[in-house]
Structure 1
């Protein structure tokens, strides 16, 4: 049994506007199959067995607080010129500079039109084949513990783990990395960005949820009501959802 991340879930007041921003930012297409806006590679939704990690923008009634999100996207670039062009294009689309204590670094920190932070990285060889999203990055207190939990939760491969950094990627060697970075700040509010996991076709969602609870996940009530997905939190409180295969 195993799960795979299939969506980065971003909460927004204006789903259509934020969806359009991320579609333009990533060079992908935006689809609105219901109340959410899904952003993925050109070609349409591939469901219930998506092969990559997309972005799902979901509506919420409240704006983002000033607290920094503990999950963010890193965008890949291929050259210094590409990085500069991408930053300029994103700002023209409505992104704004963000200051999260990064200091003098070679990457650029921006926020989407509703304040969700993300980074435009300088060219790095490791991300040359990831597509537009280089990594989904999670702030945490203990990368080793996060690597243990998420390594057991998913079928992705652990590439690196230290006291300060843990890195996983799909065993197929495609798409973005999932990275856990040690940070001093504690989680204080529910996140506006989280991962959605999906069982493989034919696998039992209830059994997968039970397995995650045994690994240390806890149930999470976000006011979701009676929905086909299950909201959980990892051992450090990062929210995530297990979707129902259909």
Structure 2
């Protein structure tokens, strides 16, 4: 049978199409777990990477899972061999957040945050693209944050690591010119992660108002430059990753923004 359910005629053979392969970092929970799960549901052969043990994730069994701490300098040495052949799609989603008291961070801890948020995505992409057969296309989607446009003392370390990621992503896009690959940025505003949604719902219940009203107040106070009044849902991010990957080489150097206008109207 073909995809339309029609029987093949005499002498015809069904064409075997190998499933495309995807590699997604930060798949222990949150957006990364949703991305890996939805790609697997779409028929991709997915390898996910996360810091937590597999038993602490909700990933479906069809997702191959690698456990690694990207803040460990030794982790990167082993990853290319564990991943194997360069995937058709690479999504860099892993993230490390500093503690509230950033003044207490040691230099090693600062380096660990930059390693997860910017240095490992850069180095690993170079390694995987170098191993890619020239005829095989590879799409790389780098998840970044609107925090690159503004920072205060508490968020400065995180914002700086993401700003470094943005610059390195731009350099990777230049590297990919005429290499049958594309490196693009998915720039995100505040996400509707379960923990944040639960906190806002609890506040709404205590105040006797709707969750939507509390969410609007939260966004206006924490992100006064946003033009959206709701958190960005995971499925919108999944659709954006699919869109970028489907663009092929046209997506090289692209920035797809789901940040509610937080970068300003002229940027």
Q: TM-score, normalised by structure 1?
A: 0.31
Ranked by relative contact order (alpha carbons within 8 Å, sequence separation 6 or more), the top structure is 1
Which has a greater percent of helix?
Answer: 2
Query: Greater CA radius of gyration, 1 or 2?
Result: 2
TM-score when normalising by structure 2: 0.29
**Higher fraction of strand:** 1
